[in-house]
Amino acid sequence: MGNESPDKTPGRSVTGKALSILGAFTPARPELRLVEISRITGLPEPTAHRLAGELVAWGALERLRDGTYRIGLRLWEVGSLSPRSRTLREIARPFMQDLYEVTRENVHLAVLRDSQVLYVEKYFGPRSIRVPTHIGERLPLHSTGAGKVLLAFSPPALQDRVLHGALRRFTPATIVMPGTLSRALVNVRRTGMATCVEELTMGALSVAAPIYDANRTVVAALSLVMRSSGGHPDRMGPAVRTAAQGISRELARCPVPLGGTA
Amino acid sequence: MGNESPDKTPGRSVTGKALSILGAFTPARPELRLVEISRITGLPEPTAHRLAGELVAWGALERLRDGTYRIGLRLWEVGSLSPRSRTLREIARPFMQDLYEVTRENVHLAVLRDSQVLYVEKYFGPRSIRVPTHIGERLPLHSTGAGKVLLAFSPPALQDRVLHGALRRFTPATIVMPGTLSRALVNVRRTGMATCVEELTMGALSVAAPIYDANRTVVAALSLVMRSSGGHPDRMGPAVRTAAQGISRELARCPVPLGGTA
């Protein structure tokens, strides 16, 4: 993931060093010992120890009795103020809940993060097919419905990078040829929706649609993932697009567009 | 709230200064200009500008075109790794969804944060009574069902502080007498549930129950808020307690207890 590589810039500032400690924690390694923090960040152990202590004092990290560190609740609390999670999720949740109640399947809200799709909200239930999506975690763009939507409406430079980067194969149906993916993206822009049939998980089918902010910038994607045996994109597409349009309409009322960073 | 007061410690470290900038953002002021950051944190503007720039570069902050700063998506992503939000919410959500589907009312998951109740998850729908609870935001302990549960099972020192601090009145029914609140807390411990009848919002009734981790430490509260005209604690209490017990049972399987910080 984007924050896994240690930042070994020699001139790294103190703030940069403290942030690199926070960046050492990922969904795959949510708890770290000091020696691991030191190894991942490239910081000497005494420096890592001192900075981790300051992060614990503020509440950005918690230190367990066995000396392990993990992310603290205060960081979640402050992070929850991010409009791209808070505003977007608050607005999207009622629409996601409606879609869940009608389908009883996985309903996802996702945004672009580096060159991946980051899931910021999810509804699912006991009857939904199990898929490897978790709130706060990422998946590749080319093998998910939400990812294809976000990629199709992303800047050309990012599309080029993804199209000509490594397209990892997850199933026999995963699109790994740049030309095929490029044509799929044209189709997403033409139809206003993306489909993925067993391209990430065997047995799963996903349908996704873009969510726009007030500037008509695509800021997120809404996706529905169901059993490929039971569903058909033609049947579910209109429901997903309708919900995505409802979210876009509400988002357009926001005074500050979500995509409006400098 | 706990992070509102500027930290003017003269010996504050660089990390402490950078963190104080993050702490300047609250639900009431999610977007700040540089001059406001400087005023809230007590940092000179050039220092605040330099540190904010580093926080933007890392993704902890975003800078809008008009120069306003807000919390960045990367901070939400890292903050989502906090077990007291991530593990707890992942485990609690199916139980919360069940309770929502049965009642169609507000279902809350809350934890203790400083001397307040912090809402980490919420389910509600168009038919639910509107209440002033939001994910990532806080309310007082003495006037909410979840707050009374968390207070009842909190360390005596915190109970003393809250009982003898200012008990703000929200409605005619808000408990503002320490003796009355103290007796209410005894009752919460005796019955394993708390009720609040129009003590925060007129027309709203809440029922809450404790959630335990593997060490039998109360780590969260589950609450149901409904119309006081339509519901009765005796009728809803068993449902809330049953769901809270289900969450506790699942939590007990976690290798690291949520309450296990040093």
Mean pLDDT (whole number) for A65-74: 93
Cβ pair A252, A213 in contact under 8 A? yes
Query: Minimal Cα–Cα distance from A17 to chain B, Å?
Result: 9
- A260 within a domain of the structure (yes/no): no
- A168 and A220 together in one domain: yes
- At position B175, the amino acid (one-letter code) is I
Domain boundary among A79, A102, A132: A79
Q: Is the ipTM of this complex over 0.95?
A: no
**Rounded average pLDDT over A23-31:** 93
Q: Is residue B3 situated within a structural domain?
A: no
Average pLDDT over every residue of B9-29: 88
Instruction: Please state the length of chain A.
Output: 262
Residue A210 in any domain: the answer is yes
B45 & B163 share domain: no
Segments forming the whole domain that contains residue A68 = 14-79
Shared domain for B75 and B172, answered yes or no, is: no
One domain, residues B58 and B105: no
Whether residue A21 is found in the same domain as residue A61: yes
Average the pLDDT over B43-59 and give the result: 96
Same domain, B204 and B189: yes
Which residues, other chains included, contact B200 with Cβ-Cβ below 8 Å and sequence gap of 6+? B131, B132, B139, B143, B144, B170, B171, B174, B206
Chain B contacts of A4, Cβ < 8 Å?
Answer: none
Alpha carbon distance B60, B72 (integer Å): 5
Confidence (pLDDT) at B40:
97
Residues 6+ apart with CB under 8 A from B112: B118, B141, B150, B151, B154, B158
Which of B54, B111, B123 has its CB closest to that of A13? B54
Residue A262 lies in a domain: no
Are the beta carbons of A18 and B23 separated by less than 8 Å? no
CATH number at residue B128: 3.30.450.40
Q: Are residues B125 and B205 in the same domain?
A: yes
Q: What is the pLDDT of residue A178?
A: 95
Instruction: Give the tens place of pLDDT for each residue, A94-141.
Output: 899 889 988 889 999 999 998 999 999 998 877 888 888 888 889 999
φ, ψ at B36 (rounded to 5°) = -75, -40
The reply to whether residue B76 touches residue A80, judged by beta carbons under 8 angstroms, is yes
Residue B34 sits in a domain whose CATH number is: 1.10.10.10
pLDDT digits over B128-161, tens only? Answer: 888 888 888 899 999 999 999 999 999 999 999 9
Helices B178-191, B145-152: axis angle to 10 degrees equals 80
Residue B6 touches partner A, C-beta closer than 8 Å:
no
Nearest neighbour of A136 by CB, restricted to B19, B64, B81? B81
Task: Tell whether B171 and B99 lie within a shared domain.
Answer: yes
Smallest CA-to-CA distance from A82 within B1, B131, B64, B123 is with: B64
Interface of B with A in 243-262 (CB under 8 A): 256, 260-262
Q: What share of chain B is helix, strand, coil (3-state, %, to 5)?
A: 40, 20, 40
Q: What pLDDT does residue A1 have?
A: 38
CB contact under 8 A, A15 and B13: no
pLDDT, position A261: 59
C-alpha span between B121 and B118 (Å, rounded): 9
Question: Does residue B258 carry a pLDDT above 50?
Answer: yes
Mean pLDDT of B49-60: 96
Question: What angle, 0 to 180 degrees and rounded to 10, lies between the N-to-C axes of helices B14-23 and B45-58?
Answer: 80
A77 touches chain B (CB under 8 A): yes
Tokens describing residue B51 = 């540190």
Whether B258 maps to a domain, the answer reads: no
Residues of chain B neighbouring A16 (CB-CB closer than 8 A): 54, 58
Residue A5, pLDDT score: 42
Task: Indicate the number of domains in chain A.
Answer: 2
From B16's Cα to the closest Cα of chain A, the distance in A is 7
Among B28, B44, B79, identify where a domain stops: B79
**Sheet (strand B204-212) strand order:** B138-140, B116-123, B106-113, B218-227, B204-212, B194-197
Say yes or no to pLDDT of A8 above 60.
no
Q: Based on the domain organization, do B69 and B92 belong to the same domain? A: no
Residues B93, B61, single domain; the answer is no
Say which residue the tokens 């503002």 belong to.
B176
The reply to whether residue A19 touches residue B256, judged by beta carbons under 8 angstroms, is: no
More confident residue, A257 or A47: A47
The pLDDT of residue B256 is 66
Instruction: Tell me: do A39 and A69 sit in the same domain.
Output: yes
State how far the Cα of B151 lies from the Cα of B136, in Å rounded to an integer. 19
Query: Of residues B127 and B31, which shows the higher confidence score?
Result: B31
How high is the pLDDT of residue A260? 55
Summary mean pLDDT of chain B: 90
Q: What residues of chain B, 187 to 216, have a C-beta less than 8 Å from chain A?
A: none
- Closest Cβ opposite residue B15 in set A18, A97, A111: A18
A40 and A95 in a single domain? The answer is: no
Q: How confident is the model at residue A232 (pLDDT cuts 50, 70, 90)?
A: confident
Q: A-chain residues within 8 Å CB-CB of B16?
A: 54, 58
- Give yes or no for A95 touching B (CB within 8 A): no
- The residue ranking higher by pLDDT, A126 or A8, is A126
Contact A54 B30 (CB under 8 A): no
> CA–CA separation, A191 vs B158, rounded Å?
58
Average pLDDT over every residue of A42-46: 97
Is residue B159 included in any domain, yes or no? Answer: yes
Partners of B13 on chain A (C-beta within 8 Å) are 14, 54
